[in-house]
Chain A
């Protein structure tokens, strides 16, 4: 009996010593994410290969505001992205339409550019120039949409209003033909918030072939519908009130003295602007609209916010705080200047392209969500 006890106890001791240093552990792979942010700005190793940088960097040497221009992407503003890649095996092909023009002045061209990796933009080409009588010498804020076998390009005009051009080379989208006039935006108008002609169009197409237009006016964002993509009728986001309501408006101003420590002032207490919208089905099968927008604050800054909606009509619900921006994209006074977002979704992650313009400079920034996801340069 004694002969057995010691070996058995020895076995217990030896086995106890088998515990090893643990790995980091998993359990958090492929988690659900709405891919609506918050977005993290791509970092140096994700956008630069040696000395060649293809996007914005995080506090690069020699800059105080965290932005640099793209050597591989010409100066541009207000992008609109079309996804061409699958997101697998580094296939991140995108086509980007953006406005271009002299620094500090309204843009007069819309360019098309491509990137095989969503960062190295090549094949830059003007596809639209201001020239039609109804354009007032300026065009911008493009919104690209695939409709059938063509690309439809909605854009804002310098004369006030929204116009459309359709590609004549199918989904290549390099050659466009403009409509004879701007789109029609009919229906009751609420002058309390719709104080300016519509601008910054974002259009989605429903399964039944109809279109929903989101546009900025004054300090709010409104919605309209159309059966053909040309003649739109305004939608009331809240039929329970006697007037036409926008889908979102600016946040109420907050007295800084009333805020708890660490809580930021609203990033959109002056205006909401530049909508970018997509429509899809949630995992529960619900129709969901995802709206990214520019939030402008009363301190002169701007950041990107997010709002969502279930169903094809009604108000959007905002998420607290911005999802892209902050000091990284700030001016020397520390005010963020991220605006005019567009989002490319690649399976389990999304890239946001946004203007990072300070005093109407022409820079684009790229962010990624989920924030833990990283990209590598090919």
Chain B
């Protein structure tokens, strides 16, 4: 068992390429944890601990596999009209492999949310275009976390991991002959060169068992941003009305996408009764460090129009992009969850019911100027149930778990009143609601 756990750890850490936490931030990771409102930093020792608190992995009682599915549906509206924000849907996988080194319990964990429509989406939008900044692109990405945890003392668990991401640099070269009046007759050669560069950010957590019934936790998640650098060179012979002119332009763009702010979580978990657990988390999210996703463009053009060349066909130089600072604000997110467990018989089976709530104040300030990062406060209520069956078959020496959850989020309508009557977008309202549903099946071997 120990050899298998180490082998899994090495293979999975080495193969980790891309990870991010947009969907997990928004909709949770794992049905049990999502049903508890995500307030589980001090109450997770299953696969979801890979996101909520890697220290919890050290409390795993056996090799655990989990597989599940999550789907989130948006009904987000501006001015009362549905903007058809893409749903989030994807598979959920993970494992926890506990072991022991030099008498110290340890565990390795890996967690994955794999969207079934796209692994990652980046869209570069005009600065002024309204967009649901928190829900449009951000959850449309893969999540992959790998962690190690140890339990040096009976009352102390420590865990951490590195998350790997890929920044992109790409260049595009276009050369050849460009027929301005008849583009289809142009003969152009394209060359694309792209490079993915690894980026890492840390996450770490600690959990303290103050008593048998009371646990405290602290978690840190590092900041992440994905830079996308693209350069394009157009070196062609432009032909128009029988006049041939050499044309060279060099364009570079740089944008920051998929920004994830630093987070610090403080949580507690209390068992007021043998069958009841109450969880509480408060998360500080460093949204003030948010980088604008607007693409900065710089262009250099060389074009000498010969006599007789139509002035209306002379290309204009694009104006440099002036990126307005987003001025997001930090926020604290309170989360609370309650779980009740009902034993089924005497063999260790049980049924669990869960309830959770969290509130996310929008970090986005009033959009009175030239940007339109749209968002609203969010109240999320979650409900879930689970059943755990022990030794249901000889081939499954352990616990078989089924968990389901549903989460309803309401975003009360927010009014944006522009400071300028000359705005191209004008005043607008934004709000709506979000449904998310998920299910997880888990198997924990003893």
Q: Answer whether residue B177 sits at the interface, using C-beta atoms and an 8 A cutoff.
A: no
CA distance A284 to B417 in the complex (A): 6
- Pick from B118, B310, B312, B417 the residue with the most CB of A within 10 Å: B312
A148 at the interface (CB under 8 A from B): no
- Per the 8 Å Cβ criterion, residues 106-132 of B in contact with A are 114-119, 121, 123, 125, 129-132
Residues of B within 8 A of A27 (CB): 83-86, 131-132, 136-137
Residue B2 lies at the interface, judged by CB distance under 8 Å to chain A: no
Interfacial residues of chain B within 413-431, with CB under 8 A of chain A in the complex: 415-418, 420-429
Tell me if B83 and A16 are in contact (CB < 8 A).
no
| Minimum Cβ distance to chain A for residue B210 (Å) | 36
Q: CB of A192 within 8 A of chain B? A: no
B78 touches A32 (CB 8 A): yes
Residues of chain B with a CB closer than 8 A to A147's CB? none
Are A307 and B319 CB-contacts (below 8 A) given A8-B65, A26-B85? no
What 0/1 pattern do residues 289 to 318 of B give for CB contact below 8 A with A?
A: 000000000010000000000111110111
Q: In the docked arrangement, what's the CA distance between A33 and B83, Å? A: 13
Closest residue on chain B to residue A18 by CB atoms: B116
Residues 265-288 of chain A, each 1 if its beta carbon lies under 8 Å from chain B, else 0: 000000000000000001110101
Question: Are the C-beta atoms of A327 and B116 separated by less than 8 Å?
Answer: no
Query: Which residues in A have their C-beta under 8 angstroms from that of B382?
Result: none
A4-B86 CB under 8 A given contacts A64-B312, A283-B426: no
A26 to B118 alpha-carbon distance, docked (Å): 13
Bound-state CA distance A250–B424 (Å) is 21
**With A15-B93, A309-B421: A29-B83 Cβ-Cβ less than 8 Å:** yes
Determine whether B140 belongs to the interface, using a CB cutoff of 8 Å to chain A: yes
- Establish whether residues A318 and B310, one from each chain, have CB atoms under 8 Å apart when the complex forms: no
Establish whether residues B417 and A286, one from each chain, have CB atoms under 8 Å apart when the complex forms. yes
Contacts A23-B117, A284-B415, A284-B427; A31 near B129 (Cβ below 8 A): yes
Nearest Cβ on chain A to B360's Cβ, whole angstroms:
19
**Binding-face segment, A128-136, A151-159, A172-180, A255-263:** A255-263
Evaluate contact between B116 and A308: CB separation under 8 angstroms. Answer: no
What is the chain B residue whose CB lies nearest that of A64?
B310
- Shortest C-beta distance, B319 to chain A (Å), equals 4
Q: Are A261 and B82 in contact (CB under 8 A)?
A: no
Check B117–A22 contact: CB distance below 8 A: yes
Across the interface, A19 reaches (CB within 8 A) one of B81, B115, B312, B415, namely: B115
Known A-B contacts A8-B65, A12-B93; the reply to A283 vs B428 at CB < 8 A is yes
**Per-residue CB proximity of A1-41 to B under 8 Å, as 1/0?**
10111001001100110111111011111111110111000
Q: Are A26 and B84 in contact (CB under 8 A)?
A: yes
- Bound-state CA distance A264–B121 (Å) is 34
Contacts of A65 in B (CB 8 A): 312
Interface Cβ pair total, 8 Å cutoff:
163
Pairwise interchain contact A20-B131, C-beta atoms closer than 8 A: no
Q: Is B197 at the interface (CB under 8 A from chain A)?
A: no
In the assembled complex, which residues on chain B have CB atoms less than 8 Å from the CB atom of A29?
A: 81-84
Assess whether B91 is in contact with A15, with CB atoms less than 8 Å apart: yes
Flag if B117 contacts A15 (CB, 8 Å).
Answer: no
Q: Are B312 and A317 in contact (CB under 8 A)?
A: no
Chain B minimum-CB-distance residue to A17: B114
Contact B181 A37 (CB under 8 A): no
How far in angstroms is the closest Cβ of chain B from A373? 13
- Interchain CA distance A310-B426 in the complex, whole Å: 11
**A334 close to B (CB within 8 Å):** yes
Task: Fill in one digit per residue for A85-106: 1 if any B CB lies within 8 Å of its CB, else 0.
Answer: 0000000000000000000000
Bound CA span A252–B300, Å: 28
Residues of A within 8 A of B417 (CB): 282, 284, 286
**Nearest CB on B from A85, distance (A):** 20
Interface majority SS (helix, strand, loop, mixed), chain A: loop
Instruction: Say if the beta carbon of B365 comes within 8 Å of chain A.
Output: no
Q: Which residues of B contact A307 (CB under 8 A)?
A: 421-422
Q: Closest CB of chain B to A158's CB: distance in Å? A: 33
A121 within 8 A of B: no
Q: Across the two chains, which residue of chain B brings its CB closest to A59?
A: B181
Which A residues lie within 8 Å of B137 (CB)? 27
Residue of B nearest to A35 (CB): B426
- The residues in A between 232 and 259 inclusive whose CB is less than 8 angstroms from any CB of B are none
Please report the C-alpha to C-alpha distance between residue A318 and residue B85 in the assembled complex, in whole angstroms.
Answer: 33
Tell me if A330 is interfacial: C-beta within 8 Å of chain B. Answer: yes
How far is B93's CA from A15's CA once the two chains are assembled, in angstroms?
Answer: 9
Chain A interface residue count, CB cutoff 8 Å, equals 60
Given contacts A27-B86, A65-B312, contact A19 B422 (CB under 8 A): no
Taking a contact as CB atoms closer than 8 A, the residue among B82, B123, B313, B423 that contacts A308 in the complex is: B423
A289 on the B face (CB < 8 A):
yes
Complexed CA–CA distance, A294 and B317 (Å): 24
The docked-state distance in angstroms from the alpha carbon of A29 to that of B420 is: 24
B185 touches A (CB below 8 Å): no
Give, as a whole number of angstroms, the nearest-CB distance from B246 to chain A. Answer: 20
Contacts of B115 in A (CB 8 A): 19
Asked whether B78 lies within 8 Å of A30 as measured between CB atoms, the reply is yes
Across the interface, which residues of B come within 8 angstroms of A31, CB to CB?
78, 83, 129-130
Cross-chain contact B116 with A20 (CB below 8 angstroms): yes
Least Cβ–Cβ distance between A176 and chain B, in angstroms: 34
Which residues of chain A are within 8 angstroms of B429 by Cβ–Cβ distance?
A: 283
Tell me the minimal C-beta distance from A8 to chain B in angstroms: 5
Asked whether B67 lies within 8 Å of A12 as measured between CB atoms, the reply is yes
A66 interface contact, C-beta 8 A: yes
Inside 8 A of B311's CB, which chain A residues have their CB?
327, 330, 332-334
Whether B82 pairs with A16 at a CB distance below 8 angstroms is no
Report yes or no: A283 in contact with B117, Cβ–Cβ below 8 A: no
B117–A38 CB distance below 8 A: no
For residue B91, which residues in chain A have a CB less than 8 angstroms away from its CB?
A: 15-16, 18
* A306, CB-defined interface residue at 8 Å: yes
**Would A32 and B317 count as touching, CB distance under 8 A?**
no
Could you tell me if B423 and A25 are in contact, using CB atoms closer than 8 angstroms?
no
Contacts of B181 in A (CB 8 A): 59, 61
Q: Give B347 Cβ to nearest chain A Cβ, in Å.
A: 21
Residues of A within 8 Å of B395, CB to CB, are 3-4
Min distance, Cβ B295 to any Cβ of chain A, angstroms: 15
* A31 smallest CB distance to B (angstroms): 5
Residues of B within 8 A of A346 (CB): none
Residues of A97-151 at the interface with B, using a CB-CB cut-off of 8 Å, are none
Task: State the CA gap A36–B422 with chains docked (Å).
Answer: 9
Cross-chain contact A34 with B85 (CB below 8 angstroms): no
> Top 7 nearest A-B pairs by Cβ distance?
A334-B311, A22-B118, A308-B421, A34-B426, A32-B428, A30-B81, A262-B319
> 23 A-B pairs, CB-CB below 8 angstroms?
A1-B445, A5-B4, A12-B93, A15-B114, A16-B114, A18-B114, A19-B114, A19-B116, A22-B121, A26-B86, A27-B85, A27-B136, A29-B84, A30-B81, A32-B426, A33-B424, A33-B425, A283-B427, A284-B417, A284-B427, A308-B420, A334-B310, A334-B311
Please list the residues of chain A having a beta carbon within 8 angstroms of any beta carbon in chain B.
1, 3-5, 8, 11-12, 15-16, 18-23, 25-34, 36-38, 59, 61, 64-66, 260-264, 282-284, 286, 288-289, 306-310, 316-319, 327-328, 330, 332-334, 348
